[in-house]
């Protein structure tokens, strides 16, 4: 029974598990340095990466990435040797054969679940490119020679490749908002067939294309308008073709 002037305390007891203590998430170590012992390697060759952190880390591994920033899609066997203080170490790995298709390879450090740093590793191709500077990726077959022809126009060029049985039209500039800078046409020219008629005669210092180039140029108004007249007759040569996945 409560009496006047008494202080009444009401205690409410809630049954259940005690609330978990909120612990701060430790911040991942920052990368102070990250280097590779070589800039280019061949498949099967061993590469050593060294790193230095600003604090100890529980686990550090290498992650292989494509030039576009996506995971490389293959396992990167590696041996990890860290210092007793766990704030520095070296990681050695063997370049897998699958890596050649995506040269160059970008390597990043996974430091306790956080990606740190990036190093580029160029990969020696089984079939080297036949020009410099080389492009990204590696050919999947040796370069092949093929008969070809070239003709320069006022605003572009045309190329014929016998191996591809194709004619390529290269424009110096876009001729319409939805147009491409490169177009490909099947080479359907038959030797001995008459040339399609011209809509106008070329100026004295210009040329109208003939044969396969002429068939594409004379029968497609947008090609003719975009390229203009040829600056010289077509020239034959031997082209080299390289094949790569992109």
208 and 171 together in one domain: yes
End-to-end CA distance of the chain: 87
Q: Is residue 43, in this structure, part of any structural domain at all?
A: yes
161 and 218 together in one domain: yes
pLDDT in tens, 60-83: 999 998 888 888 888 888 999 988
pLDDT in tens, 174-227: 655 556 789 999 999 998 899 999 989 999 999 999 999 999 999 999 999 999
Q: What is the mean pLDDT of the chain?
A: 84
Q: Is residue 112, in this structure, part of any structural domain at all?
A: yes
235 and 149 together in one domain: yes
Number of domains in the chain: 2
Q: Is residue 16, in this structure, part of any structural domain at all?
A: no
Q: Is residue 136, in this structure, part of any structural domain at all?
A: no
CATH number at residue 85: 2.60.40.1930
Domain that residue 41 falls in = 31-123
pTM confidence score: 0.64
**H or E stretch covering 218:** helix 211-219
Please determine, for residue 40, whether its predicted confidence score (pLDDT) is greater than 70: yes
119 and 149 together in one domain: no
Q: Is residue 231, in this structure, part of any structural domain at all?
A: yes
Q: Is residue 131, in this structure, part of any structural domain at all?
A: no
41 and 118 together in one domain: yes
Q: Is residue 118, in this structure, part of any structural domain at all?
A: yes
Query: Is beta strand 88-94 parallel, antiparallel or unpaired with respect to 78-82?
Result: antiparallel
pLDDT at 245: 65
Q: Is residue 119, in this structure, part of any structural domain at all?
A: yes
Q: Count the helices and strands in the chain (H runs, E runs).
A: 2, 13
């Amino acid at each position: 029974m409560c009496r006047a002037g008494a202080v009444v305390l009401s205690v409410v007891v809630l049954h259940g598990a005690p609330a978990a203590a909120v612990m701060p998430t430790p911040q991942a170590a920052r990368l102070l340095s990250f280097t590779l012992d070589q800039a280019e390697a061949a498949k099967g060759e061993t590469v050593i990466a060294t790193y230095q952190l600003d604090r100890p880390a529980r686990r550090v591994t290498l992650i292989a990435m494509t030039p576009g920033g996506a995971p490389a899609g293959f396992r990167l066997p590696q041996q990890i040797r860290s210092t007793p203080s766990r704030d520095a170490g070296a990681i050695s790995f063997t370049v897998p054969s699958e890596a050649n298709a995506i040269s160059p390879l970008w390597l990043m450090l996974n430091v306790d679940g956080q990606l740190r740093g990036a190093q580029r590793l160029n990969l020696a191709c089984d079939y080297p490119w036949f020009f410099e500077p080389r492009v990204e990726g590696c050919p999947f077959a040796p370069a092949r020679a093929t008969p070809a022809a070239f003709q320069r126009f006022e605003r572009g060029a045309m190329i014929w490749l016998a191996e591809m049985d194709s004619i390529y039209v290269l424009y110096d500039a876009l001729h319409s908002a939805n147009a491409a800078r490169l177009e490909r046409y099947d080479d359907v020219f038959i030797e001995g067939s008459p040339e399609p008629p011209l809509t106008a005669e070329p100026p004295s210092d210009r040329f109208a294309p003939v044969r396969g180039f002429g068939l594409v140029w004379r029968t497609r108004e947008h090609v003719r308008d975009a390229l203009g007249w040829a600056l010289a007759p077509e020239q034959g040569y031997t082209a080299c073709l390289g094949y790569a996945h992109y």
